[in-house]
């Protein structure tokens, strides 16, 4: 079974970590609009495509030694110009210097880290994510949407790319060839939806005979999805993907503990609620997808089981 997982951040990592235990061919298609931190600096200084999310997906699928994976995720804690850089990002940047192209660099990083499956950039174009807020204000750059300098209470009206990006051909091919396409989990406007803005991706998903599944987040994110419920997430996905395209929505229905929710509330994040009435237009699976205490996150094994068996 060919399973395509679309996203970018921690959510995609979690899904891949779980799914890799199942007998399937995993293809991770990664958003290439990240512009923050180590990744943002390398974009600016080397003109390399953002390596951060690619790196995380490679680690998720790597069958290398634990040390090699640890090294790939290592972050320098000191050094003028080195501090804060992820070693894996430098690894991919150096490979681009040697190979001459981002596509080859990512491909070779996958080979050197001995990954099971594929990690593909959604596009090879160097583009930036932009958002228009409900008051008409324009925000440029993924990191400025992810970590807002504007009033985070404002809703995002729409997002778009500047300039427009074309889909990486191999990613389109894998979407068309997939049996399941998993969209999410992950930050809605900065990790998940950016993939759907790329010219050719939305069309490929529509054409594909794959089952199209959206996995909803467990927590809202301040400045992106304040007070969102599951149907708000799914509705936004279909706004960019096309109405009626999703075959299934998977979401968590287990309540987190009060104490934990209070801690998250300090960062203006709340557990994503749901209204069965408002889910009427979607086929859905609601179940316990939570990890054990301390963090409100998806459990990779629980999530993979539901995805695989649905």
Interface contacts to a copy of itself, rule CB under 8 A: 41-42, 45-46, 65, 67-68, 70-71, 74, 76-82, 85, 87, 90-91, 93-95, 97-98, 108, 112
- Nearest distance, CB of residue 16 and a copy of itself, angstroms: 23
- Nearest distance, CB of residue 42 and a copy of itself, angstroms: 8
- Nearest distance, CB of residue 138 and a copy of itself, angstroms: 29
- Nearest distance, CB of residue 92 and a copy of itself, angstroms: 10
- DSSP letters along the chain, please? -EEEEEE-SHHHHHHHHHHTTSSSEEEEEE-----SHHHHHHHHHH-----HHHHHHHHHHB-S-HHHHHHHH-B--SSTTTTT-BHHHHHHHHHHHHHSSHHHHHHHHHHHTTBSSEEEESBSS--EEEEEETTS-EEESHHHHHTTSS-TTSPEEEEEEES--BBPHHHHHHHHT-SEEEE-SS-IIIIIHHHHTSBTHHHHHHH--SEEEEEPPSB--TTTSTT-BHHHHHHHHHHHH-TT--SEEEEE-PPPPHHHHHHHHTTT--B-B--TGGGTTS-EEEE--BPSTTS--B-HHHHHHHHHH-
Name which of 95 and 201 has its Cβ closer to a copy of itself: 95
Name which of 93 and 190 has its Cβ closer to a copy of itself: 93
Name which of 77 and 292 has its Cβ closer to a copy of itself: 77
- Nearest distance, CB of residue 99 and a copy of itself, angstroms: 8
Name which of 20 and 96 has its Cβ closer to a copy of itself: 96
- Nearest distance, CB of residue 107 and a copy of itself, angstroms: 11
Name which of 22 and 46 has its Cβ closer to a copy of itself: 46
Residue 105, number of CB atoms within 10 A of its CB: 23
Name which of 83 and 268 has its Cβ closer to a copy of itself: 83
Residue 141's region, left for phi above 0, alpha for psi from -120 to 50, else beta, is left
Name which of 42 and 115 has its Cβ closer to a copy of itself: 42
- Nearest distance, CB of residue 94 and a copy of itself, angstroms: 5
């Amino acid at each position: 079974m060919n399973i395509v997982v679309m996203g970018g951040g921690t959510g995609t990592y979690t899904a891949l970590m779980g799914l890799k235990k199942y007998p399937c061919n995993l293809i991770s298609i990664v958003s290439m609009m990240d512009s923050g931190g180590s990744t943002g600096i390398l974009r600016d200084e080397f003109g390399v495509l953002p390596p951060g999310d690619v790196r995380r997906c490679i680690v998720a699928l790597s069958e290398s030694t634990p040390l090699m994976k640890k090294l790939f995720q290592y972050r320098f804690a000191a050094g003028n110009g080195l501090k804060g850089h992820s070693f894996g990002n430098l690894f991919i940047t150096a490979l681009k210097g040697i190979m001459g192209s981002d596509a080859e660099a990512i491909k070779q990083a996958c080979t050197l880290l001995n990954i099971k499956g594929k990690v593909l950039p959604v596009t090879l174009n160097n583009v930036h994510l932009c958002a228009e807020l409900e008051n008409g204000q324009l925000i440029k750059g993924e990191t400025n949407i992810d970590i807002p300098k504007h009033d985070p209470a404002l809703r995002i009206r729409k997002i778009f790319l500047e300039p427009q990006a074309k889909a990486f051909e191999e990613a389109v091919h894998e979407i068309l060839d997939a049996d399941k396409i998993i969209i999410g989990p992950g930050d809605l406007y900065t990790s998940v939806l950016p993939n759907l803005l790329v010219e050719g991706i939305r069309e490929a998903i529509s054409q594909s005979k794959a089952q199209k599944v959206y996995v909803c987040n467990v927590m809202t994110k301040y400045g992106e999805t304040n007070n969102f419920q599951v149907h708000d997430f799914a509705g936004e996905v279909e706004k960019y993907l096309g109405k009626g395209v999703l075959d299934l929505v998977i979401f968590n229905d287990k309540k987190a503990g009060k104490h934990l929710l209070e801690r998250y509330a300090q960062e203006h994040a709340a557990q994503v609620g749901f209204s069965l009435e408002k889910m009427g237009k979607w086929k859905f699976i609601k179940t316990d997808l939570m990890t054990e205490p301390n963090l409100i996150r998806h459990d990779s094994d629980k999530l993979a089981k539901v995805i695989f068996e649905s």
